[in-house]
Structures are given as C-alpha cells and as structure tokens.
Amino acid sequence: DIQMTQSPASLSTSLGETVTIDCRTSEDIYSSLAWYQQKPGNSPQLLIYDANNLADGVPSRFSGSGSGTQYSLKINSLQSEDVASYFCQQYNNYPLTFGSGTKLVIK
C-alpha cells in the first residue's frame, strides 16, 4: 500500500494569511493526487485533482502543486469559511489511500 504522510496535523493561522499543507507519498504516484476539504458534520469536498487542477466551483485562492512523491496544497488569503480539515488522496494504485488530515483553525 502507498503510505501518505500529511503535515502538519493541525495549523493555526490568521485571516488573510497564506497556508501550505504537505503530502508525501511512499512511492511515485505520477501526480494522481487529490485534495479534499471537510467541514465539521459534512462530507469531504473535492478541491484539487491531478495534483494541480482546480475542481469546479473551487475558489482560485486554492492551488495545488508537486510531483513524484511530494505534493502541496496552498491557500492564499485565508477566509473564515476555510476553517476545515484537509485531506490528500492518491489514486495511482490500489488500495486508494488518504492522508491523515490537517485541521485548520483561525487564531
């Protein structure tokens, strides 16, 4: 199984700031990586696919980057509605696997 190492586990930051969440995979996944946002009590929502493509309806302050085994999610100009947990997921190999999540809170 491909291991997903996501960091940090939690992040406290201020409105308007920029945050970066990292996801490292145990082997090359050839950019087959998605990022999800999950707000409390809700289902995950797709933000980014193929490492750097914005899903439909997702604000442009979200962006993804990376290749090989190293990937990142960046959120510019943090808004209050961005308070959520964020997960990465690889879909290059079975079983599909997810990162352990990053909980983002506002200071």
Q: Number of residues in contact with other proteins, rule: CB under 8 A?
A: 23
| Binding of residue 85 to other proteins (CB under 8 A) | yes
Which one of residues 2, 49, 66, 84 is an interface residue with other proteins (CB under 8 A)?
A: 49
Question: Which strands sit side by side in the sheet containing 62-67, from one edge to the other?
Answer: 4-7, 19-25, 70-75, 62-67
- Token output for 97: 């696997």
Paired strand residues for 25: 4
Q: Site residues (CB under 8 A) for other proteins?
A: 32, 34, 36, 43-46, 49-50, 55-56, 85, 87, 89, 91, 94-98, 100-101, 103
